[in-house]
Amino acid sequence: MANIYILREKLLTTDYENIPNGLKSIIPDQTLNILKTLNLDKETNDIIEKYKINEIKSNYDSITLRMGQLHFELNSLTTEKSDLEFAFKKNREEEIDFAKHLTEKYGKGSLDISTGIFTPTE
């Protein structure tokens, strides 16, 4: 009786398609049906596992692509920020130089930028 259980366990771990035809004829139908079901579950699990592997790989591909895009965008923004900081500094220097020019021309005072009126100080 123990040999039947060993044979049954061996069969349950074997793919249905790999069982020799002669042996299939002496295996009970219930055991063959179990094997067929197990093989279907194994195929389904294989498909699900392959899908999950592909999904994970696809996620990595998308993340990597976006990281690359972000890297270039960040470089571009860093360059633009440097350019704007330079332009701001240059404009500030022009303002200081122009203020010196106005002081030399009109003397000390204040300029209302919105109206353009210069008010000398005493």
pLDDT (tens digit, 9 = 90+) per residue, 83-117?
A: 999 999 999 999 999 889 988 988 888 888 889 88
Q: How many residues does the chain have?
A: 122
For residues 90 and 101, give the distance between their C-alpha atoms in angstroms, rounded to a whole number: 16
**pTM value?**
0.48
Based on C-alpha coordinates, what's the Rg of the chain?
A: 41
Bigger pLDDT: 72 or 45?
Answer: 72
Does residue 119 sit in helix, strand or coil?
strand
Bigger pLDDT: 30 or 100?
Answer: 100
Torsion angle of alpha carbons 8, 11, 13, 14, nearest 10°? 180
